């Protein structure tokens, strides 16, 4: 296995961010991040104590999904 990485290897190196930073990055409130989790649009990738941690790419995917859904409804 020279020079190859698996998805599992990549996941180990992905930085996780707090709800607050996720909200800042997506341009929404922390309440919106929590709502996305409740509605199944976003899943925490880990925890730190009681704090949920997210992968930035998952936050952006949830933002795109909910943004498209909002515009599709109108």
Distance CA 44, CA 36 (A): 10
Weakest mean pLDDT among 1-5, 11-15, 16-20, 29-33: 1-5
Model-level pTM?
A: 0.75
For residue 5, name the pLDDT band (cuts at 50, 70, 90). Answer: very low
pLDDT reading at 47 higher than 70: yes
Report the 3 state secondary structure along 23-72. Answer: HHHHCCCHHHHHHHHHCCCCCCCEEECCEEEEEHHHHHHHHHHHHHHHHH
Q: How many CB atoms lie within 10 A of CB 54?
A: 25
């Amino acid at each position: 296995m020279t020079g190859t990485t698996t998805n599992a290897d990549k996941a180990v190196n992905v930085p996780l961010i707090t709800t607050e930073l996720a909200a800042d990055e997506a341009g929404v409130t922390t309440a919106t991040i929590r709502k996305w989790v409740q509605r199944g649009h976003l899943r925490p990738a880990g925890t730190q104590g009681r704090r949920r941690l997210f992968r930035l790419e998952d936050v952006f995917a949830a933002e795109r999904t909910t943004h498209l859904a909002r515009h599709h409804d109108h």
